[in-house]
């Protein structure tokens, strides 16, 4: 398995009809960029999906409401403060962020989407946010997207983006996405923050369905620490500047488009897990032979989130006993005498016992930057995969 | 909250009618003690409870079988190799351990209980085990219990034991327990290994019921890392040398005895969490106001096992936002606007938002060696408590 962890800045490009900016508004004391704005020149079709956490941030609640109209002109984002667990004052702050941005852009307030990421429980400094909005609205440009991808970062060590070019109705279409996220990552329906933009024209219901399908097989497959955030948000804007006939499943290029959207989402999800707090490795856990897909997912997540499995990878230990232990305590049905486990191309476990592969061979695989643990439960046809990362001392240091 | 983390060796004493030993058999290359034996002079009434992990070690399977007779004479234990995921060869090894011990003690094989703890997936070195058994059987003495409590340790930093003295029928009765466990700790029905011995005479069904009740409110309430082991075992032997009328719920001193057994189990559980791998703090998570007790337990465990919550304690951060996040993604019903959280005597959250307590005040509490996080969900009458510990860099280093 190989994963491109780093985003090449030369490939980053906004689809036609979009502008963006990223600035230091002063929310973070360090002075790094902490506010981003994405603007569509025209009313874009919007899709979105959000955290399934019962405790959810004010901007998530506002986005859910604004998404009812399925139309969007702008996404205003701040990092540093999550605006979660902030009650009515926090809700008012999110609404004010939308209203102030809408007023300066001269667009309807319900077409401005608000995202926040950072510390939970603090109120947004609205004076700082207000002057930031004053500063960022006139700053949006096509090149400003380079600043925007930086401004949404928190503990991320690098910006995460992906730009794909396809053809729809013979016209060039761009699908571009950006994301942030490194900790508190086990997305339920979305991950921390991700924005996917396209100049394709797409019907609203089709875009929403397409986004949900893509997110299910990308962001929802990664887990850094098993902690599902209060702020997870994926928003998708389709501006239509490409001039194609609006896409829907009936369109002959639908598959090309939905594949592109999935590939962008998957690429961003891999960049998130590849930049997991303190992590140095990406490990795909594949489970097959479970009673059904849901049980396969439960088994894969038990392995992916086991502290003992994740710490064993740090020093390249092929400690498959811990993988067996995690499978056994998962709520998925497991018969230990049937379990086979491979590490990349090498068998590690056959029938629940050591396969005879040498520890040295397995150690070489676990030393790789990316590898796959393939588990066959031999009970049924259920399959699932989840992407995890190692848990290093650095993870502890980042979060204490 | 205050917890006695260390066991005073001066208090350690076997009940009448028991002998024990601990030796270095050579299973661990370091040469430290790695084999323990506990012997009852007479046929003791046995009770036991074991891991709920579907992947379970050969000695656990053997103990379950031997427990059917409810009679025991000896417990033979090795550390270093868990004899889990070892198939028929491992089962044969566990049987041989019982048979060899039984033969030298001249007792029925089914009255010898076998426990192993250590690395999963390796076969026991039966030549080393065999000569260890030859050496340990003649070595049992009353004082040998001091060696036995050391010999069952793996990553434990200190031996764990507790001795209580009560009166039953006016006769002195001793209830003594020992335990090992520091990692792979979120017991389902028991924790790694614990042996509780008493010279009281107790009826078999009463002893089993009493043990299950004690374990539920002690070992089952602690979680070091959310990883449930393949080898968890609690065994209880009641030898009867005290000469009391056999205890059962009908006996007037039943409450005194069952309380003592619970207190020993609870003391050992606290010593396990207090010696959690790399941990420096013990934190009790109390949840009340959940829809029911099961939901309270789910909510408390989500907080207790959150990597972000556990790492935040390392540097004394009162990061209640992460507690809110964990409550929100737990499968327990939560309405964030109703949640109150206190840290010991200080309110941290009221109605899902900051209570106004200063961060400095809360930080002082989190700096304590032991503290309580009290959560009220205000939805119903469900209550639960779980004991957790901080997750330090040392935890990662111990397990890589």
pLDDT band at A279 (very low <50, low <70, confident <90, very high): confident
- Report the mean per-residue pLDDT for chain A: 91
Q: Is A400 in contact with B322 (Cβ distance < 8 A)?
A: no
- Catalytic positions of A, please? 191
Going by C-alpha positions, the residue among B195, B183, B375 that lies closest to residue B279 is B183
Mean pLDDT across B308-318: 91
Give the CB-side neighbour count of residue B111, counting CA atoms within 13 A.
20
Other beta carbons within 10 Å of A356: 8
Q: Is the pLDDT of residue A225 over 80?
A: no
Mutate to test the interface with B, among A181, A311, A318, A352 (most CBs of B within 10 A): A311
Nearest CA in chain A to B327: A55
pTM of the model: 0.83
Alpha helices (runs of H) in A140-283, residue ranges in sequence order = 145-151, 204-216, 254-274
Q: What percent of chain A stands above pLDDT 70?
A: 98
Mean pLDDT across B290-312: 93
Q: Is B121 in contact with A353 (Cβ distance < 8 A)?
A: yes
B376 contact partners, CB below 8 Å, separation of at least 6: B287, B288, B289, B339, B340, B341
**B337 interfaces chain A, CB cutoff of 8 Å:** yes
Q: Is the pLDDT of residue B168 over 70?
A: yes
- Of the listed ranges A164-178, B143-157, B213-227, the least confidently predicted one is B213-227
Mean pLDDT across A90-94: 97
Task: Give pLDDT tens digits for B109-137.
Answer: 999 999 998 888 889 999 999 999 999 99
Mutate to test the interface with A, among B58, B85, B183 (most CBs of A within 10 A): B85
Distance from CA of A342 to the nearest CA of B (A): 15
Instruction: Indicate the residue of B120, B311, B354 with minimum beta-carbon distance to A325.
Output: B120
pLDDT recorded at residue B333: 94
pLDDT band at B339 (very low <50, low <70, confident <90, very high): very high
Query: Who has greater pLDDT, A269 or B92?
Result: B92
Q: Is B230 in contact with A324 (Cβ distance < 8 A)?
A: yes
Task: Give pLDDT tens digits for A242-268.
Answer: 999 999 999 999 999 999 999 898 888
Mean pLDDT across A288-292: 97
pLDDT recorded at residue B190: 46
**A358 interfaces chain B, CB cutoff of 8 Å:** no
Q: Is the pLDDT of residue A188 over 70?
A: no
Distance from CA of A387 to the nearest CA of B (A): 17
Instruction: Indicate the residue of A225, A308, A334 with minimum beta-carbon distance to B225.
Output: A308
Q: Is the pLDDT of residue B160 over 70?
A: yes
pLDDT band at A234 (very low <50, low <70, confident <90, very high): confident
- Cβ contacts of A226 on chain B, cutoff 8 Å: 305-307
Q: Is the pLDDT of residue B189 over 60?
A: no
Compute the distance between CA of residue A26 and CA of residue A136 in angstroms, rounded to an integer. 12
Q: Is the pLDDT of residue A211 over 60?
A: yes
Q: Is the pLDDT of residue A189 over 50?
A: no
Q: Is the pLDDT of residue B183 over 90?
A: no
- Report the mean per-residue pLDDT for chain B: 91
pLDDT recorded at residue B148: 96
- Of the listed ranges A89-93, A213-217, B86-90, the least confidently predicted one is A213-217
pLDDT recorded at residue B188: 56
Distance from CA of A218 to the nearest CA of B (A): 20
pLDDT recorded at residue B187: 64
Query: Who has greater pLDDT, A357 or A136?
Result: A136
Position of tokens 């270095």?
A: B24
pLDDT band at B351 (very low <50, low <70, confident <90, very high): very high
- Pick the catalytic residue from B51, B101, B117, B191: B191
Q: State how beta strands A382-389 and A282-290 pair.
A: antiparallel
Distance from CA of B113 to the nearest CA of A (A): 22
Mutate to test the interface with A, among B52, B53, B55 (most CBs of A within 10 A): B55
Instruction: Indicate the residue of B85, B312, B336 with minimum beta-carbon distance to A399.
Output: B312
pLDDT recorded at residue A397: 86
Calculate the CA dihedral of residues B320, B324, B330, B335 and round it to 10 degrees: 150
Q: What percent of chain B stands above pLDDT 90?
A: 62
CA dist list (Å): A350 to A326, A327, B340: 17, 14, 50
Distance from CA of B131 to the nearest CA of A (A): 26
Q: Is A396 in contact with B119 (Cβ distance < 8 A)?
A: no
Q: Is the pLDDT of residue B259 over 70?
A: yes
Compute the distance between CA of residue B239 and CA of residue B46 in angstroms, rounded to an integer. 9
Query: Who has greater pLDDT, A399 or A102?
Result: A102
Task: Give pLDDT tens digits for B196-241.
Answer: 989 898 999 989 898 888 888 888 887 777 777 788 888 899 999 9
- Cβ contacts of B324 on chain A, cutoff 8 Å: 55, 84-85, 120-121, 230
- Cβ contacts of B307 on chain A, cutoff 8 Å: 225-227, 307, 391, 395, 399
Mean pLDDT across A345-370: 93
CB A156 within 8 A of CB A140: no
**B30 interfaces chain A, CB cutoff of 8 Å:** no
Number of residues that this document lists for chain A: 400
Compute the distance between CA of residue B367 and CA of residue B280 in angstroms, rounded to an integer. 10
Q: Is the pLDDT of residue B273 over 90?
A: no
Q: Is the pLDDT of residue B4 over 90?
A: no
- Cβ contacts of A333 on chain B, cutoff 8 Å: 54
- Cβ contacts of B305 on chain A, cutoff 8 Å: 226
pLDDT band at A227 (very low <50, low <70, confident <90, very high): confident
Q: Is the pLDDT of residue B6 over 90?
A: no
DSSP designation for A338 = G
Provide ipTM, 2 decimals.
0.82
CB B53 within 8 A of CB B191: no
Nearest CA in chain B to A187: B329
Buried b / exposed e along A207-236 (16+ C-beta atoms within 10 A): bbebbbebbeebbbbbbbbbbbbbbbbbbb
Q: Is B85 in contact with A314 (Cβ distance < 8 A)?
A: no
Distance from CA of A104 to the nearest CA of B (A): 31
Q: Is the pLDDT of residue B303 over 80?
A: yes
Q: Is A325 in contact with B184 (Cβ distance < 8 A)?
A: yes
CA dist list (Å): A200 to A300, A341, B192: 36, 43, 58
Q: Is the pLDDT of residue A190 over 60?
A: no
**A354 interfaces chain B, CB cutoff of 8 Å:** yes
Element (H, E) at A326: helix A320-329
- Cβ contacts of B325 on chain A, cutoff 8 Å: 53, 55, 84, 120, 184, 227-230
Residues 226-245 of B with CB under 8 A from A: 226-230
- Cβ contacts of A230 on chain B, cutoff 8 Å: 321, 324-325, 328
Q: Is the pLDDT of residue B191 over 60?
A: no
Compute the distance between CA of residue A362 and CA of residue A251 in angstroms, rounded to an integer. 48
Q: What percent of chain A stands above pLDDT 90?
A: 62
Q: Is B352 in contact with A87 (Cβ distance < 8 A)?
A: yes
- Of the listed ranges A7-11, A59-63, A208-212, A230-234, the least confidently predicted one is A230-234
Alpha helices (runs of H) in A180-253, residue ranges in sequence order = 204-216
- Of the listed ranges A168-177, A266-275, B344-353, the least confidently predicted one is A266-275
Task: Give pLDDT tens digits for B230-240.
Answer: 888 888 999 99
- Cβ contacts of A306 on chain B, cutoff 8 Å: 226-227
CB A260 within 8 A of CB A250: no
Q: Is the pLDDT of residue A197 over 50?
A: yes
Residues 47-66 of A with CB under 8 A from B: 52-56
Q: Is the pLDDT of residue A185 over 50?
A: yes
Distance from CA of B108 to the nearest CA of A (A): 29
pLDDT recorded at residue B230: 80
CB B222 within 8 A of CB B229: no
pLDDT band at B63 (very low <50, low <70, confident <90, very high): very high
Going by C-alpha positions, the residue among A179, A188, A261, A177 that lies closest to residue A223 is A188
Nearest CA in chain B to A228: B329
Nearest CA in chain A to B314: A400
């Amino acid at each position: 398995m190989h994963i491109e962890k780093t985003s090449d800045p030369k490939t980053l490009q906004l689809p036609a009809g979009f502008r963006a900016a990223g600035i230091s508004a002063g929310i973070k004391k360090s002075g790094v960029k902490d506010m981003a704005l994405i603007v569509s020149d025209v009313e874009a079709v919007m899709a979105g999906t959000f955290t399934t956490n019962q405790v959810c941030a004010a901007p998530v609640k506002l986005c859910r409401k604004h998404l009812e109209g399925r139309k969007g002109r702008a996404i205003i984002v701040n990092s540093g403060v999550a605006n979660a667990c902030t009650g009515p004052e926090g809700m008012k702050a999110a609404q004010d962020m939308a209203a102030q941005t809408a007023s300066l852009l001269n667009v309807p307030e319900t077409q401005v989407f608000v995202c926040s990421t950072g510390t939970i429980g603090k109120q947004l400094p609205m004076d700082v946010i207000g002057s930031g909005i004053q500063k960022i609205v006139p700053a949006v440009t096509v090149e400003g997207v380079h600043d925007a991808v930086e401004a949404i970062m928190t503990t991320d060590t690098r910006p995460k983006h992906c730009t794909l070019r396809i053809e729809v109705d013979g016209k060039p279409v761009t699908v571009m996405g950006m994301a942030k996220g490194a900790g508190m990552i086990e997305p339920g329906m979305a991950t921390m923050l991700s924005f996917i933009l396209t100049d394709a024209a797409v019907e609203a219901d089709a875009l929403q369905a397409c986004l949900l399908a893509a997110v299910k097989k990308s962001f929802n497959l990664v887990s850094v620490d098993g902690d599902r955030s209060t702020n997870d948000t994926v928003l998708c804007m389709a501006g239509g500047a490409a001039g194609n006939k609006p896409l829907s499943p009936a369109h002959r290029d639908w598959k090309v488009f939905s594949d592109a959207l999935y590939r962008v989402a998957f690429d961003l999800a891999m960049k998130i897990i590849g930049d997991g707090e303190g992590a140095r490795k990406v490990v795909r856990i594949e489970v097959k032979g479970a009673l059904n897909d849901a049980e396969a997912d439960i088994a894969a997540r038990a392995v992916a989130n086991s502290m003992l499995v994740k710490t064993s990878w740090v020093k390249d230990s092929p400690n498959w006993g811990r993988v067996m232990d995690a499978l056994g305590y998962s709520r998925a049905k497991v018969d230990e005498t049937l379990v086979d486990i491979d590490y990349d191309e090498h068998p590690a476990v056959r029938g629940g016992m050591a396969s005879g592969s040498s520890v040295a061979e397995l150690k070489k695989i676990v030393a790789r930057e990316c590898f796959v643990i393939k588990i066959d439960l031999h009970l049924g046809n259920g399959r699932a995969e989840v992407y995890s990362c190692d848990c290093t001392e650095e993870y502890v240091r980042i979060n204490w």
